[in-house]
Chains A and B, each alone.
Chain A
Amino acid sequence: MIPILLRGLLPRVLLVALLCVAFFFLEPGFHTHEGGASEEFHLDLGYMGLAATLANLAGLSMLVLLGGFVSNDRRQGYYRLYFSHPTRPVAFYGVRWALGLLLAMAAAAVFLVLGQVVAWGRFEGGWSGLYLALLAAIAYGGMIAFLSVALARGDTWVALVLFLFNIFWLQATSLGLQPLPPLLNDLVSILLPPRLALSDVYDGLLRGEIVWGASAFAAGYGVFWLLMAGLLLRLRDWP
C-alpha cells in the first residue's frame, strides 16, 4: 500500500521541491558570501541559522503533503471502498501522516545539505537544525490532521492562513502588542501553532543546548491535535 500512497503523493512532493527552491532564495544564510558579509554575520546566519528556515520548510511541507488528506477522501467518497476492506481508518490515515512526516523531514535534510553545497561549495553541518524541523513538522502536522478531519473542505487554506497569521502574531506579541483582551490573547496564543516554543528551542540550539520544556510543549501541541483528530475520526459519521 505504501508504494501506492507514495505514488499518489508525487505531485505534492514536486510542490515541496519547489518550496525548497523558494526557501533557498529566501534564506539569508545562503547568501552571506554574496555581499562580503562579516564573519559574525556569517556565524549568526550560517549553518545554525538555517534551523529556523528548516522549521518553516518542514511545517509548510506538512501542510502541502497532508492538506485535505482526510477531508478530500470524505468529500470525494473514496473512503467507501477503502474502509469496506478490513482497514481501520485511524491506521490508514496514521500511515499517510507518518509518510508525510518522513517526506517533510527528508525534504528538510536534502535542503540542509544541498543548500549548503550549492551556496557555500561545502557542507558545514547543522544536523541539529533538523531537531527544530521535526518539532515544527509534528506541531503543524497535528494541526493539519485535526483540520482535515474536522472540516469538510478548505482545511489546507485554513492551515495556511493560520501558518501566516502565526508569523504576524509572534511578531506582534514579541513587540509587546496585545491586539485582543488579555484572556483572548492567551487563548489565541495557545491555539495557534507554538511558534514561541519553537523560537525558544531555536535559541537553545544556537547556544548548543536543547530546551526540553519548549520542545515538549511544541511536540505536545502536535500530538494533542493528532489525538483529537484520531478521536474525531473514530466518532464522526462518514457522509
Chain B
Amino acid sequence: MIRLEKVVKEYGGPLARLRGERVRALDGVTLQVPAGAAVGLVGPNGAGKSTLIRLLLGYLGPTRGGVQVGGMLPRDYAERRGVAYVPERVSLPPAWTVGGALHAFAALGEVDRPAERIQRVLRKLGLAEIAGRRVAALSKGNLQRLAIAQALLADRKVMVMDEGTDGLDPEWVARVREMLDEWRHADPERVLVYASHDLDEVERVADQAVVLSEGRVREVVELRGEGPGTAYRLEVEGPDSARRVADAFPGALPVPGAGHAFRVQAANPRDLTRRLGTLVQAGAVLRSVAPEAGSLRERYHQGLARRTEAASRIGDAVDAASASAAEREEGA
C-alpha cells in the first residue's frame, strides 16, 4: 500500500546547496507498509517523522528516491482517494465553527450523506454540544478532537496520525485508541501510520514500529506476532501468591530485582481475564497488572545507541586521521 524506496529529502534551495547548508531530513529511507498494517513511527525530535508524513501526503516531494501510496504518487493518491489525516499542529481558520468546519471538510471530501456523517462524528468525538463554537475558542484537546472528527468523516483506506492524540486527556486517548481499532477492523485493507513520541501508545496501536533517527531507519520492531500473545507485567502480593503464578501462566518469568513481579503472556484480553481469574481463585493476591511496555522502549534505545556508537566510531576515525596527519606534518 505504501512504498518508500531509498528516499532522501533535503531542505534548502539552490543557494543553500552552493553554500553547503542544505539540511538532510531523510537519508535513504526504504519502507513498505502492506495493506491492513498499522505502523508506528517513533524517534527523537528532528528524526524525520514529520517529513516522512508530509511525503506520504504529497505535500513534499523527495529529493531522491520514490514514494508511492496505493500505486500512485502520494499527491495523486490524496487528490483522488483522500487520506484521513490528523496533523501534529491542527490549524483551521479561527472564524470557522466546529460544525461549519466539518461541513467544509465533508464538501471537500465529497462525503456521502454529509449531515448524517457529521452528526455521527460530532457525537463520537464529544463535540455535539460545542458544534456552534468558533475554532478560535477551542481548547487544544477540543481542536485535536475536531481534527480526528474530520479524519473519520469519510471512508478512507489510509490514515496518517502525526502526534494525533497530543493534548488529549488519558480518557480520550483511550477512546481514540478504540476508535482507531474500530476503524481498522471495519475494513481489513486499511492502513494506519501513527507517529508519536509516546512509545507505550505506539505499542498499543501499531503492529510494527519504525525507529527513525537523523533521517534513517534504525530499527523495525515487530509489536505483534512475536510469541503466543501480548506480554504483561504482573505483580502479586507475597511468596504464596508468587508460587501460584506459574499455574495460571505457564512460562511466566520472574522480573529480576522486582520482588514478586513476573513477565507473563496472554493471547488476548479475554485470555488474560480468564488466567487472572484462575490465579485469584487459587488464592493469589494481585498488586498490579499492566501491558509490558519494555520491548519497544528497549529496541528504541538500542536503535538510538547504535546511531551514537556509529557516530562515535566516525568521530574516533576522524580524530585518528587528524592525529596521523598532524604526526606526518611534524615528521615533515
Q: Please report A residues at the B interface, Cβ cutoff 8 Å.
A: 1, 4, 7-8, 76-88, 92, 237-238
Contact = CB atoms under 8 A, between A and B. Distances in A.
B91 to A, nearest CB: 4
B95 A8 contact: yes
Contacts of A8: 93, 95-96
Interface of B: 54, 57, 59-61, 78-85, 87, 89-93, 95-96, 100, 103-105, 107-110, 147, 150-151, 154, 160
**Which DSSP category, helix, strand, loop or mixed, fits chain A's interface?**
loop
Contacts of B104: 1, 4
Nearest to A77: B91
A80 B108 contact: no
6 shortest interchain CB distances as A-B pairs: A84-B85, A77-B91, A238-B59, A85-B109, A1-B107, A85-B108
A86 B79 contact: yes
24 contacts: A7-B95, A76-B91, A77-B87, A77-B91, A78-B93, A80-B57, A80-B87, A81-B87, A81-B90, A82-B108, A84-B78, A84-B82, A84-B83, A84-B85, A84-B151, A84-B160, A85-B108, A85-B154, A86-B109, A86-B110, A92-B108, A237-B60, A237-B61, A238-B60
Contacts of A92: 108
B190 to A, nearest CB: 15
Given A7-B100, A8-B95, A86-B79, 12 more contacts: A1-B104, A4-B96, A79-B59, A80-B87, A80-B91, A81-B91, A81-B92, A84-B151, A85-B154, A86-B108, A87-B79, A237-B59
B81 A86 contact: yes
A86 B78 contact: yes
A4 B107 contact: yes
Nearest to A76: B91
A77 B93 CA distance: 10
Contacts of A86: 78-82, 108-110
Contact of A81 (B60, B95, B147): B147
B100 A85 contact: no
A182 to B, nearest CB: 31
B84 A84 contact: yes
Given A1-B107, A4-B104, A4-B107, A84 B147 contact: no
A15 to B, nearest CB: 15
A76 B92 CA distance: 8
B112 to A, nearest CB: 13
A157 B60 CA distance: 28
